[in-house]
Amino acid sequence: MTLGISIVKPVNQIQLSPGSVVTIPNVNWQEFEAILQEMGEKRSSRIAYSNGWLEIMVPLPEHEKPKELISDMVKILLRKLGRKYEPFGSTTFKKENVAGVEPDACFYIQNYQKMINRRRLQPDDPPPDLAIESDVTSKTTLDAYEAIAVPELWVYANSKLTIYLLTNGQYIASETSPDFPSIPLTQIIPQIVERSWQVGTVEALTEFERIIA
């Protein structure tokens, strides 16, 4: 008689190479919270959880440059418009028993004042006003953002920027951002990201500032 033995390996012991995506089905909320705690805060991976599906993603090195560059461009735009903001990086945002997600970068703009003194998120805190994702297009990730109700999501993938606006609980692609309506970001941002590979980040950001001046 042959016995089947199930071996469970702790998530924090799973070695994932850059560019890897692991999808785990049938994860309940308590398991999701336990996995987050097990993985800890100091890690290179990002998570997305929605409808019982958990994705663990390890970004490629070339993922980091567009993420940082787009985040810097958002800061330049906000300063140009005299808008105040609070950046919250890759904070884990959750809607209990429903969804969880970690942006590449995110900003509180309309709600910045409420978040000035936040060292830890509180249960009644709003979601970020703008989130940024680089090279992530999975349904689990988009579903998580929808569930958490992030009003505006930028996804940069395959040298293209897509702006998603939350409308009646669902994301609709838009050519413009409500925060920067007069600037053709879906054209300019991919151009500047590509330029950064050619002339470097500082020069690319300088060119961006000249374009929007």
- The model carries a pTM of 0.90
Rounded CA-CA distance 207/56 in Å is 35
Kindly list the distances between the CA atom of residue 100 and the CA atoms of 28, 127, 141, 144, in Å, as whole numbers in the listed order: 12, 11, 9, 6
**pLDDT band at residue 11, thresholds of 50, 70 and 90?**
low
Whether residue 193 is predicted with pLDDT greater than 80 in this model: the reply is yes
3-state secondary structure of 21: strand
Place 2 in a pLDDT band, splitting at 50, 70 and 90: very low
Quick one: pLDDT at residue 12? Answer: 58
Residue 4 has pLDDT above 80, yes or no: no
* Runs of H (alpha helix) within the chain: 29-39, 61-80, 139-148, 185-199, 201-212
Q: Is the pLDDT of residue 198 over 80?
A: yes
Q: Please report the pLDDT score of residue 3 as a whole number.
A: 43
Q: What is the pLDDT of residues 78-110, one digit of tens each?
A: 999 999 999 999 999 999 999 999 999 999 999
Residues 39-90: pLDDT tens digits?
A: 887 788 889 999 999 999 888 878 889 999 999 999 999 999 999 999 999 9
d(CA 64, CA 152): 21
Structure confidence at residue 174 as a pLDDT band (50, 70, 90): very high
